Amino acid sequence: MGDSESEYLEKIDKIKRKSSERVTEVLDQFGKAQRLKAEALKKNEEMMTSAASDLEKLERDMARDKEISPESENKINEEILEARNIVRQKYDELRARISDRLQ
C-alpha cells in the first residue's frame, strides 16, 4: 500500500529542513571566506605600510649619518628604491591574487 498524505507531507518538510540547513552551511562558509579575504588584505596592507615606514626610517638615518661617502649614499639609495619597487610589486601581486581568488 502507498504512503498516506501525512507521510508525504512529512517527507516534504524533511527535505525543506535539510535544504535550509545546507543553505545556512553555505552562507556560513561564504562568510568565513569573506572574513579570511578581509584579514588577508589587511595583513597585506600592514606589510606594505611597515616596509614603507622601515625604508623611510633608513633614508632619514642615512641622511643624518655624516660618515657615509657620496658613492655609498648613492648605492644605498638605489637599493632602497629597488626594495620599494619589490615590496610594491609583491603587494600588488598578492592583492590581485586575494581579490581574484576570493570573489
- Each domain of the chain, given as residue ranges in start order, spans 5-101
Q: What is the DSSP secondary structure assignment for residue 66, as one 8-state letter?
A: T
Residues 43, 49, 52, 58: what is their CA dihedral angle, to the nearest 10 degrees? -100
pTM of the model: 0.72
* Residue type for position 34: Q
**E strands along the chain, which residues?**
none
> Virtual CA dihedral for 84, 89, 94, 96, nearest 10 degrees?
130
pLDDT in tens, 28-74: 999 998 999 999 999 999 999 999 999 999 999 988 988 989 899 99
